[in-house]
Structure 1
Amino acid sequence: MIINKFFAAFSQLISKTSQVAKQPLVKQNLIQSEPMRLSKYLAQTSVCSRREAEKMIQSGMILVDGKKVESNIPVTSENKIQVFTKNGERMPVKQSTKVWIFYKPVGMICSHNDPFKRPSFYDFAKLRLKTDQHVISVGRLDFNSEGLIVVTNDGELARCMELPETKLQRTYRVRVYGTFTEEKLKKIRNGVTIAGVNYGPYWINVENRQSRNTWLIMRLESGKNREIRKVMQKFDLRVNRLIRQSYGPYKLMGLKPGDFYEAQIEPEIKRKLYLHTRKKLQNVQEQIQLEQTKLNIKTLDDQSKNDKLIEKQNNDLSEKKNINTNPPKQIHSKIN
């Protein structure tokens, strides 16, 4: 009943918006193009306070475009800024990057196109955020699942958070219907193979046992398509409710279905984004070096072939010259 009321209100909101707001939404130009002092830039990108930035500048802990800075110079988002602290290197996130937390209700899809015309998260997000920016969900929840979705306008950040090697932990409350035994719990913890695909192992505990339903808490560091449902089905258990409670450092924090709130980019995410960006840069540099090596080898091969051709031509000319300068002696036969 609550879900039906929610989507009835959602449909009315879309209808009113399409009738009244025929003018395009105002674009939110969040990119800082004007130069600003380095300390202010670092404060606005949540790296440190202005005072801390000024101290680090004096200590030679900040590089701009690969060069150590000794004064509070003007910078923009185009500059490559590296900050070295006691806890390692930190890199400012783009000023335009935003992160929101959304409680996705049951009955909403995380897709741009749906042949069945079901309510889409993307349509709802743009209406609630009042923006025509391109927003992206970090990971997905299927149609019948609910709970936390991290939303951002930065594709690189979303990609970084989704990658298995980032190892951002997801926590789920899962209600399963069927006979749930300690033996099944042990087997699920160890992980299973379904149709040649390995799932798990998992951190999983029983939260509450009912007559035929059991509430579980599960933690995953990656999420394959319908993973939890497939694993439970393997043990004759049917998932009849699935709620994602957290994704990395982000938690639902009392949100209700359909609620949004803007969150900070947590230090853990900044660090992982920096490592992800650095790895990509290293891969690009390695690829460039590989291509350069291949080009050098090809150049050497071509030079070697050219040298051999020149040598052959010189040899042929030498032979012709020898023939011309030393013609063969004529043999006269004696006539008796």
Structure 2
Amino acid sequence: MAEERLQKFLAGAGIASRRKAEALISAGRVRVNQRTVTELGTKVDPGRDLVTVDGALVSQPEQRSYYLLYKPSGCVTTASDPQGRPTAMEYLRGVPGRPFPVGRLDYDAEGALLLTDDGELANRLAHPRYGHQRVYLVKVKGDPPAEALERMKAGVRLEDGPARALEVAVHEHADRNVWIRVVVGEGRFHLVKRLCEAVGLQVQRLFRPEFGGIGVGGLRPGRFRRLEPEEVRALRQRVGLESGTPARGPSVRELPKAARRHGHGPPAAPGAAPPPAEPDADEVGPRARGASRAGPRAAAPGPGGRASRPSRPSRPGRAGTRRR
């Protein structure tokens, strides 16, 4: 069997993405034939060398696993979080294999998240040089001026360098807000939100309807499904790992819509306690604003998990008059 770079071998074995595998090597957590290796260019023979990470033997999986999760808002796309926030991995608890998230999706963003133990596919989908495009639907406050959308396509300068959207267009009008469709070619941290803010748009909700041409239609937040063989084949064709023309992804009109929000915070993962209640990002108006001003007594949960407001004593001569 041909030799390959150690980080590629670890990613292919489903230990972590290639970038995180490099971090494991640099940290001295990887051993090859009982010898600690920290050099990223090290090559191994999968059929002959014994590789361990933190003392556990690494071997190539007999069968790859591929899942699509509708990541809810309010969780992070890491295996663990030092702040104790919910993680996307908790929703896949108990599935076979060792799938890990491909790329990232912001804590307060929602939508399509691919998880797999196919390290080479994950690397090609995440790395900008392979040209994989990411589609987002962004709910912005008010009606965005055409000049702002054009500036996003022309390019703006962010604190970590210039950036631009490949495509920007109005997708759908909502009450007092507008959904715009933004296509980018890289997964830089908070890129879509920062592009919008750079041109004066206020982001209210960020939704990724599909990833790699595979949409989250039919899934509710916190739910996942295993990819069909033809979907896996199309993904690998899309990034050049298999020959052939990939199947067409959803068109602009076919893009799934973000799920309606019910209750507060992300849905609880299987076997996990529900997270503490948080205000709904889409809830506006006097009730939401009043709840934040009312203090601890107003936050007591009422029926259905909603905060109930304490009743005010009536005043003589003011019956039936609404206080403004």
Structure 2-normalised TM-score? 0.52
CA 180–134 in structure 1, closer or farther in 2 if over 3 Å, else same = same
1:215 paired to 2:179: yes
Match of 2:130 in 1: 166
1:258 paired to 2:222: yes
Q: CA deviation at 1:215?
A: 0.7
- Out of 111, 122, 136, the residue aligned to residue 89 of structure 2 is 122
Q: What SS is found at the alignment partner of 1:274?
A: coil
Q: Is the 8 A contact 1:179 1:237 kept in 2?
A: no
- Out of 116, 141, 153, the residue aligned to residue 117 of structure 2 is 153
Match of 1:228 in 2: 192
Moved more, 107-116 or 209-218: 209-218
What letter is aligned with 2:122?
Answer: A
Q: What SS is found at the alignment partner of 2:93?
A: helix
Q: Higher Cα Rg: structure 1 or 2?
A: 1
- Quote the Cα distance in structure 2 between the aligned partners of 1:169 and 1:196: 20
Q: CA deviation at 1:105?
A: 0.6
- Quote the Cα distance in structure 2 between the aligned partners of 1:231 and 1:211: 23
Structure 1-normalised TM-score? 0.50
Match of 2:98 in 1: 134
- Out of 166, 170, 187, the residue aligned to residue 202 of structure 1 is 166
1:106 paired to 2:70: no
- 1:250-295 residue CA offsets vs partner (Å, 9 max, x unmatched): 22132111111111312351463538xxxxxxxxxxxxxxxxxxxx
Which has a greater percent of helix? 1
- Quote the Cα distance in structure 2 between the aligned partners of 1:139 and 1:272: 15
Q: Is the 8 A contact 1:178 1:213 kept in 2?
A: yes
What letter is aligned with 1:138?
Answer: V
What letter is aligned with 2:75?
Answer: M
Same amino acid, percent of matched pairs: 27
1:267 paired to 2:234: yes
Q: CA deviation at 1:211?
A: 5.7
What letter is aligned with 1:204?
Answer: V
Q: Is the 8 A contact 1:136 1:155 kept in 2?
A: no
What letter is aligned with 1:107?
Answer: G
Q: Is the 8 A contact 1:135 1:152 kept in 2?
A: yes
What letter is aligned with 1:248?
Answer: G
Match of 2:209 in 1: 245
What letter is aligned with 1:262?
Answer: R
Q: CA deviation at 1:95?
A: 5.3
Q: CA deviation at 1:226?
A: 0.4
Root-mean-square deviation (Å): 2.5
- Quote the Cα distance in structure 1 between the aligned partners of 2:190 and 2:160: 15
Q: Is the 8 A contact 1:109 1:121 kept in 2?
A: yes
Q: CA deviation at 1:212?
A: 3.9
What letter is aligned with 2:103?
Answer: G
- Quote the Cα distance in structure 2 between the aligned partners of 1:255 and 1:247: 14
Match of 1:143 in 2: 107
- Quote the Cα distance in structure 2 between the aligned partners of 1:217 and 1:271: 21
Q: What SS is found at the alignment partner of 2:129?
A: helix
Q: Is the 8 A contact 2:91 2:223 kept in 1?
A: no
Q: CA deviation at 1:193?
A: 1.1
Match of 1:53 in 2: none
In the alignment, structure 1 segments of 5+ residues that lack a partner are: 1-30, 32-76, 79-92, 276-336
CA 211–235 in structure 1, closer or farther in 2 if over 3 Å, else same = farther
Q: CA deviation at 1:223?
A: 1.6
In the alignment, structure 2 segments of 5+ residues that lack a partner are: 1-12, 14-45, 48-59, 243-324
What letter is aligned with 1:269?
Answer: R
- Quote the Cα distance in structure 2 between the aligned partners of 1:98 and 1:236: 41
Q: What SS is found at the alignment partner of 1:124?
A: helix
CA 242–201 in structure 1, closer or farther in 2 if over 3 Å, else same = closer
Q: Is the 8 A contact 1:98 1:152 kept in 2?
A: yes
- 1:12-54 residue CA offsets vs partner (Å, 9 max, x unmatched): xxxxxxxxxxxxxxxxxxx9xxxxxxxxxxxxxxxxxxxxxxx
- Quote the Cα distance in structure 2 between the aligned partners of 1:188 and 1:137: 28
Question: Alignment length, in residue pairs?
Answer: 183
Q: Is the 8 A contact 2:151 2:199 kept in 1?
A: no
Q: What SS is found at the alignment partner of 1:159?
A: helix
Q: Is the 8 A contact 1:108 1:121 kept in 2?
A: yes
What letter is aligned with 1:166?
Answer: Y
